[in-house]
Amino acid sequence: MKLPVVASLAQRMEGRDRDGENNFLLIRLLAATSVLVGHAYALAPLHCETCKEPLKAAGGPVPINGLGVLVFFTISGFLILRSALKHDVASYLRSRLLRVAPALMICALLTAFVLGPAFTSLSLRDYLASSGVYEYLGKIVLYFRHAPFELPGVVFTATAHGRGVNGSLWTIPLEVRLYVLALVAGVVVRVTRAPALVPVLALILLAACFDMSWIVPNEDGYRLAWAFALGSVMYATRAWLPMHGGIAGGLLIAWWVCRDQPVGIALFLVATAYATIYAAFLPPLRLPNWVNDYSYGIYLYGFPLQQVLGALFPGLGPYSLMGASIPVVWLAGAASWYGVEARCLRRKTRRGPVAEELRQYTS
């Protein structure tokens, strides 16, 4: 019996370089929305005894919002290594800066000087005179390892997380540092002409053997850094990495069988990374023309807007908070995209049509 030919990742990637030709946009939007869903269980002002977070209830090592962030980091590792290998240092840094920094800065400013004054118990004068406001702003825009979660006098709800202003931002300093490591890998490849897998594995080995927390913060037990590393490895091995739904299913089954064992988290990470990239290069699911990449804006504004809704409507439970927040946050994500992100992405290159640049999945 002749065995079926299994296509490699490189073969599946052929001709699918841009959003609309792959499923990265859809996956990013789903991942961002899953963060809203997961956070609703923690941020809802009305406690619900019977409301169970679905992924943790099913035996997952992380809640559904954690899965969404793992998917983000897997995609980031895959695409950012590609960008580091494809572009020179100046172009790479310019692209990363324009993609991340402006929208983050606008979000931080709105949080510190609009949301904070609206919900603080302090007078406006005392609030603006507080060093905590400027410490919050400075640490976020300068990517300090530990992003602050609170603003002076701001309390949204009486829940355990009621003082948190934007708990999602802790991942961004980690991702920026991983961008730097991807750049190091790209430079090594360019200088030595070594296969991309060599510096990637060298960096992974260093992180496994030595304390690199001064470079890569070890929040969440390095799970996000490992997700980024798995995405990078998949890109580096794309020429011979087989991609098949049976492999994705087998990895998920292996995780389920071993989920309570020490190896369970490793299998979960590998299964998540493989399934994410496999799904990205399935035949694309067409999205409406009005849908663009609102995922970063959804991620930036989801937590604070859910806190605002909880403060204004204290009767919201987890499911009603989901229903109320998802459309509101999607609108905020769209505003961030059209008002800030797309405008900045137009500056990434002076060559070629703007629309084509914005469709590149490496943006």
* Per-residue pLDDT tens over the stretch 261-304: 989 999 999 999 999 999 999 999 988 888 999 999 999 999 99
The residues near 285 (Cβ < 8 Å, ≥ 6 apart) are 23, 26
Is 210 exposed, middle or buried, given 0-12, 13-18 or 19+ CB atoms closer than 10 A?
A: exposed
Asked whether residue 70 is domain-assigned, the answer is: yes
State the pLDDT at residue 219: 56
Asked whether residue 363 is domain-assigned, the answer is: no
What does each of the 363 residues of the chain score in pLDDT, given as a tens digit? 555 678 999 999 988 877 678 999 999 999 999 999 999 999 999 988 888 898 988 888 999 999 999 999 999 999 999 999 999 999 999 999 999 999 999 999 999 999 999 999 999 999 999 999 999 999 999 988 777 899 999 999 999 999 999 999 999 988 999 999 999 999 999 999 999 999 999 988 887 777 666 666 555 655 898 999 999 999 999 999 999 999 999 999 999 999 989 899 999 999 999 999 999 999 999 888 889 999 999 999 999 999 999 999 999 999 999 999 999 999 999 999 999 999 998 876 554 333 333 444 444
Asked whether residue 178 is domain-assigned, the answer is: yes
Write the pLDDT tens digit of every residue in 6-34.
899 999 998 887 767 899 999 999 999 99
Comparing CA positions, the residue from 325, 13, 353, 32 lying closest to residue 171 is: 32
CA-based max dimension of the chain: 80
State the pLDDT at residue 354: 37
**Interhelix angle 64-86/89-110, nearest 10 degrees:** 150
State the pLDDT at residue 150: 94
Q: Tell me how far CA of residue 212 lies from CA of 169, 203, 268, 283, 334, in angstroms.
A: 21, 10, 23, 39, 37
State the pLDDT at residue 355: 39
Report the b/e string of 232-269 with b at 16+ CB within 10 A: bbbbbbbeebebeeebbeebbebbeeebeeeebbebbb
Report the b/e string of 155-164 with b at 16+ CB within 10 A: ebbebebeeb
Asked whether residue 2 is domain-assigned, the answer is: no
> Containing domain of residue 100, as a range?
9-358
Asked whether residue 1 is domain-assigned, the answer is: no
State the pLDDT at residue 346: 83
Helices (H), the chain: 9-13, 24-43, 54-57, 64-86, 89-110, 116-119, 124-129, 131-141, 171-192, 197-209, 223-236, 245-257, 264-280, 295-312, 318-336, 342-345, 354-359
Residue 156 tokens read as: 């949204």
State the pLDDT at residue 360: 46
pTM: 0.92
State the pLDDT at residue 262: 87
State the pLDDT at residue 243: 95
For the chain, the domain total comes to 1
State the pLDDT at residue 17: 76
State the pLDDT at residue 270: 96
Asked whether residue 240 is domain-assigned, the answer is: yes
Asked whether residue 13 is domain-assigned, the answer is: yes
State the pLDDT at residue 357: 37
Asked whether residue 4 is domain-assigned, the answer is: no
Chain mean pLDDT for the chain: 90
State the pLDDT at residue 57: 87
Q: How far apart are CA 229 and CA 218, in angstroms?
A: 14
